[in-house]
Amino acid sequence: MELIIDGHNDLPMQLRGRSGYRVDGLDRPRPDLQTDIPRLRAGGVGGQFWSVYVPGDLSEPEAVVATMEQIDAVYRMVAAYPDDFAIACGADDVERAIAAGKIASLIGIEGGHSLATSLGVLRAFARLGVRYVTLTHNENTSWADSAVRESQVGGLNDEGRAVVREMQRIGVLVDLSHVAPVTMHAALDTAFAPVIFSHSSARALHDHPRNVPDDVLARLRDNGGVIQLTFVAPFLSAEYRAWSAAADAEWQRLGPPARPAEWPRAPRPGEDPATLPDWPGPDRIVEPAYASWLAAHPKPPVTVAQLADHVEHARDTAGIDHVGLGGDYDGTTELPEGMGDVSGYPLLLTELSGRGWSPEDLGKLAGGNILRVLRESERLAEEPLWPLTPAR
């Protein structure tokens, strides 16, 4: 089985919300999560970009603090399971970790708001091992336009172009998931090294604002970058997206009772994380009236075959050397049938093998292409700023 190097997993966010950043218990099944070590092993995951996401509506200073806490959680998780995880900051680190039977643990920031419009903050994060920054999340920054907001700066302004250039100068990957097409083109106009999409799908198959248009996929081939196709059901299926919108509308119509904040606070110094309020997450079925609506309006199925269609379209448009996988596990509950947790990757590889994919091409998709991009970004970087002594 080909080992996966996945572009996006939100486990650190879930650890914050569900256990006050406690990292114990990941070496056994955790049904409250989509990710644990046994299922990572079952899914054939050899490398993972852990997303250190914080909400885009936090103030920039708050976002920097919260991102630091998320990065700390990744390091503590890796330290707690040294036989299973190893921090990886470059392609050689990834290969050493995999050769030692460990899961290479890379770090990606999901949203340029975490930089607080500061190249110094960017460089500090790079020294902590951050290997990509998504230019926006679902909110515009002052220098880049998001996919789901009205354009404010025409893609990137001069500050945004300076951020892209500095990221590539120090070897941090520019991630174009979540940004508007005009931002994608502006970043490709500016880039001198490969860019990535850490978790996106193909807009030609489903016109979702989070998906990537064909004209961008065609440019990705010339840039040398990679789109890591995501598993999020509303990005894969127009029918499912319509159902999801109707479900959201019904939830709002019912006037849901107040719930704890969607972004739970971190433990305070000296505070027992176990005493923090429960975080309900996105599950709404506990509301009886809503459960009744769901029973009358069942979810349309989203299949592994539909996910494979997006993978193949990206391959056909960008080329086999420019596709990868970015599941978005623990960042969504809406996933294809049979792929509800990180053990599901073999189902997709089996589907593609049945469509005639060669072992060599499956290897490129699974991890070979993103490993190449990492290595190329290192080669082109003028001043890589990763940790001098990363954990092995």
Structure confidence at residue 347 (pLDDT): 98
Catalytic residue from among 6, 10, 84, 175: 10
**Annotated catalytic residue 206:** no
Position 273 in a domain = no
CB distance 179 to 136 below 8 Å: yes
Q: Is 10 a catalytic residue?
A: yes
Tell whether 291 is covered by a domain.
Answer: no
In a domain, 266, yes or no: no
Task: Give the span between the Cα atoms of 110 and 52, in whole angstroms.
Answer: 6
Q: Which of 2, 36, 84, 110 is catalytic?
A: 110
328 is catalytic: yes
Instruction: Please report whether residue 274 resides in a domain.
Output: no
Q: What is the mean pLDDT of each run of 10 residues along the chain (392 residues)?
A: 92 95 96 97 98 96 97 98 97 97 98 98 97 98 98 98 98 98 98 98 98 98 98 97 94 74 85 82 70 93 98 98 98 96 98 98 98 98 78 44
Find the CATH number of the domain harbouring 73. Answer: 3.20.20.140
pTM score: 0.96
Task: Please write the tens of the pLDDT for every residue from 104-143.
Answer: 999 999 999 999 999 999 999 999 999 999 999 999 999 9
Find out whether 281 and 15 touch, Cβ atoms under 8 Å: no
User: Is residue 285 one of the residues assigned to a domain?
Assistant: no
Note down the domain range covering 374: 4-248+301-380
Q: How many domains does the chain have?
A: 1
- Which one from 84, 113, 175, 178 is the annotated catalytic residue? 178
In the residue annotation, 110 being an active-site residue is answered as yes
Note whether residue 73 is domain-resident. yes
Q: Is the residue at 219 inside a domain?
A: yes
182 found inside a domain? yes
- Please give the Cα distance from 43 to 29 (Å, whole number): 14
